[in-house]
Structures are given as structure tokens and as C-alpha cells.
Amino acid sequence: MNSDMFELTKTIKAAASGGPSDITDVIYAAGYRKPDRSIEDTVMLTIETLAGFEGADIPWEQWPKNLDGILVNELNELIEVECHNADGSAAHIAKVVLSAGYRKVGE
């Protein structure tokens, strides 16, 4: 896990000048995903995400258009909270992301 932590911290630092959505984008682009989930869990995540967008009165153009958009939004919600945490350092964010079950896929 230490090498994963180091690699993810380095990835996050590459986007440090950006905000939470930039950090989310680099983490997602680097291939970090949660393990496969059941169809039921995926449907519930989609419903909860879309309900949140609708409830917040966010314009349709900004809504996720596919499953990747839903998954990016899930990661972004985690990053948003941690960026505003007292210790929003790259290492702290990496630890939280890995603790939430994200792993690098495709290697």
C-alpha cells in the first residue's frame, strides 16, 4: 500500500494548482477506480447521483451523461470534502481515496 500511496500522492500533486475537480480528473485519468460493484449497487449510485443533481437544481447540461460521469461524480464528492479538510494535503487525500477502496486498474 505504501507504493500505491506514494504514486497516488505524486499524481495528486501534479494537479495541486487546480481545485477539487482538477484533482478528481487526474486521479480518474490515472486509472483509479473502486472494485466492481453489483448491478444493484450501480443502479442505486446512479439514482442517488441523479436525484442529488435534480434536488440541487443543477442545469441538465452539467449532469453526468453516462456511467463514467456517475463514477467521476462519486470520486469528486469524496475529493471535495477532503480538499476542504483541515489537512487537505496530497498525502491526506491519497490516503482517504485508497481507504475508500479506490485502486489503480488496468495494469
pLDDT over 70 percentage in the chain? 95
31-53 mean pLDDT? 93
Distance of CA 58 to the CA centre of its chain: 19
Cα–Cα distances in Å, from 70 out to 73, 74, 86? Answer: 5, 6, 27
Q: What length does the chain have? A: 107
- Spatial separation of the C-alpha atoms in residues 64 and 81, rounded to whole Å: 20
**What average pLDDT does this structure show over 43-69?**
91
Provide the pLDDT for residue 97.
95
Question: What percent of the chain stands above pLDDT 90?
Answer: 60
- In the prediction, which pLDDT does 70 show? 96
Stretch 37-53: mean pLDDT, rounded? 94
Residue 103, pLDDT above cutoff 70? yes
- All cell numbers assigned to 23: 484533482
Instruction: Say how far apart CA 38 and CA 52 lie, in whole Å.
Output: 21
Cell of 10: 505524486
